[in-house]
Amino acid sequence: MATNRTFTMLKPDAVANGYIGGILKMINEAGFRIVAMKYTQLTKDAAGKFYEVHKERPFYGELVDYMSSGPIVAAILEKENAVADFRTLIGATDPTKADEGTIRKIYAKSIAANAVHGSDSDENAQIEGDFYFSKLERF
Ligand code: IDP
Ligand code: MG
């Protein structure tokens, strides 16, 4: 299923460090339109559910604790080729391996606290957006 939308979260480290404005500016300047947006905090249960696909990975517990540790910004973004272009904009999972000029290279502290989430497929973008937003919250 092809869509022109992706889903992102500005993670607890990015919010705590005061990077919301800087990251949103990069997102806007890269040509993404904000379809939906929410400032919220995941419970441990909700974070566990969101990252269920990673349940078997060794960092799952750490990831769930971290993602529920403070407020985040969740958003649906629209642009042609949104999923792939947003992954390019955020850079590699490990910020030490991220390209220059990417959001993670500029704002991320570590492979765990890596500033931002980006969906990895159209299907997951749909699932992840539905996790946070009702139809009435999309514009
Ligand atoms: P992605 O966010 O670049 O798609 P995934 O492999 O889907 O990376 O991992 C999901 C999230 O889990 C990462 O963004 C990061 O916060 C965390 N993570 C990934 N690998 C590690 C690791 O080796 N140690 C700790 N946390 C990790
Ligand atoms: Mg991923």
Task: State the pLDDT at residue 32.
Answer: 98
With beta carbons less than 8 A apart as the criterion, state whether 133 and 10 touch: no
- Best residue among 7, 109, 114, 127 to mutate for probing ligand 1's pocket (most ligand atoms within 8 Å of CB) is 114
Vertex 40, ends 37 and 46: CA angle to 5°?
A: 110
> Which residue's CA is the closest to the ligand 1 atom numbered 8?
93
Phi-psi region of 103 (alpha: psi -120 to 50; beta: other; left: phi over 0): alpha
With beta carbons less than 8 A apart as the criterion, state whether 81 and 139 touch: no
Task: State the pLDDT at residue 1.
Answer: 43
With beta carbons less than 8 A apart as the criterion, state whether 120 and 83 touch: yes
Residues 51-80 pLDDT 10s: 999 999 999 999 999 999 999 999 999 999
**CATH number of the domain encompassing residue 84:** 3.30.70.141
pTM, two decimal places? 0.97
Query: Can you give the residue range of the structural domain that contains 10?
Result: 5-137
Domain count, the chain: 1
* Burial class for 74, CB neighbours closer than 10 Å (0-12, 13-18, 19+): buried
Cα(111) to centroid(ligand 1), Å? 6
Residues 7-33 pLDDT 10s: 999 999 999 999 999 999 999 999 999
